[in-house]
């Protein structure tokens, strides 16, 4: 059984102006996501600026999210690292906090071999009992986990159950699903490829756009699974300009700005991320308005 089906929001981490985590705002965001039908929450992923959280903050945010959600929807904790021992530590602590699953990115910077990736993921999986979703995003990590490697892990490690595919390479995804023969759950890691991924057997999306449009992303997936393919396709196409604006600078710069524009007081980014360029901010504002999102006064 899949950890979740449908829309999983890769949630931002709100900060106070001094850069500390804004837990009260995080609670508001979580409640809003649940109220608007989001199917799962991904905490402390790329969009949550996990790479600039201390380990203590990282684990506190996960624990706080689990407490607020209180079992209403799955909470999937981002616990990946380019150091296997660190990933094991974060994963074990997230399990203690009550997370429902783990999202573990391929090791970045090190450029591990496929053999090294098998050892890395196996060691992490063996250290916990939670189900694990592999996160493949070579554009950020410099490391591509190949379909054959994914299938070997899914078939030999019982709690490696899913993959978030953000390569953008649909041919690679198709090959993976052909080889997998149902042994792994597939999630889109790109909001502009939800429909293609679902058509290849995907279970849903781990979405950045769902921060600002949770109902729409949930409904896109729901319409597909209910057989309303034309409706779902049009929803995907309607979302493309918003997606492009939300990725005109590196994630999560635009989505954090978008949340502030919507009145969420999500706070600043942590360095080395910097505020949006003015012309890109205007592009984002226009795309949000065109999509029908109501900006704060």
Query: Catalytic positions, please?
Result: 135, 164
292: Cβ contacts below 8 Å, ≥ 6 apart: none
Task: Yes or no: say if 177 and 156 are a contact pair by the CB < 8 Å rule.
Answer: no
- Give yes or no for a contact between 239 and 207, defined as CB atoms under 8 angstroms apart: no
Tell me 136's DSSP state: E
Count the neighbouring beta carbons within 10 Å of the beta carbon of residue 273: 17
In the chain, DSSP finds a helix count (H) and a strand count (E) of 12, 8
CA distance 50 to 44: 5
SS3 160: strand
Length of the chain: 297
**Is-contact 87 118, C-beta < 8 A?**
no
CA distances from residue 56 to 21, 60, 89, 152 in whole angstroms, order as listed: 11, 6, 12, 33
**∠ CA(158), CA(6), CA(134), 5° rounding?**
35
Quick one: DSSP state of residue 132?
Answer: E
What six digits make up the tokens of 195?
A: 């429909």
Q: Residue 11's closest CA among 40, 39, 47, 37?
A: 47
- CB 132, CB 159: distance < 8 Å: yes
Q: Tokens 């949630």 identify what position?
A: 11
């Amino acid at each position: 059984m899949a950890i979740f089906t449908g829309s999983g929001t890769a949630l931002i981490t709100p900060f106070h102006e001094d850069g500390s985590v804004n837990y009260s705002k995080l609670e508001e965001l979580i409640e809003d996501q649940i109220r608007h039908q989001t199917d799962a929450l991904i905490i402390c992923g790329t969009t949550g600026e996990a790479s600039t959280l201390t380990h203590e903050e990282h684990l506190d945010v996960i624990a706080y999210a689990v407490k607020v959600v209180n079992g209403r929807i799955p909470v999937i904790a981002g616990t990946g690292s380019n150091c296997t021992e660190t990933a094991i530590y974060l994963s074990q602590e997230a399990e203690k906090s009550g997370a429902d699953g783990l999202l573990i990115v391929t090791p970045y910077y090190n450029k591990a071999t496929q053999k090294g990736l098998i050892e890395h993921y196996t060691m992490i999986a063996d250290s916990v009992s939670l189900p694990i979703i592999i996160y493949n995003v070579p554009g950020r990590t410099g490391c591509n986990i190949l379909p054959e490697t994914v299938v070997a892990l899914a078939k030999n490690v019982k709690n490696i159950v899913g993959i978030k595919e953000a390569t953008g390479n649909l041919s690679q995804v198709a090959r993976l699903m052909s080889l997998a023969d149902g042994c792994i759950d597939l999630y889109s890691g790109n909001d502009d490829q939800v429909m293609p991924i679902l058509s290849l057997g995907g279970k849903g999306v781990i979405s950045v756009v769902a921060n600002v449009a949770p109902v729409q992303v949930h409904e896109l997936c729901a319409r597909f699974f209910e057989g309303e393919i034309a409706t779902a396709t049009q929803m995907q196409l309607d979302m493309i300009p918003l997606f492009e604006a939300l990725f005109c600078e590196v994630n999560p710069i635009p989505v954090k700005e978008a949340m502030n524009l919507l009145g969420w007081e999500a706070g600043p980014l942590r360095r080395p991320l910097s505020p949006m360029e003015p012309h890109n901010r205007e592009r984002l504002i226009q795309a949000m308005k065109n999509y029908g999102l109501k900006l704060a006064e």
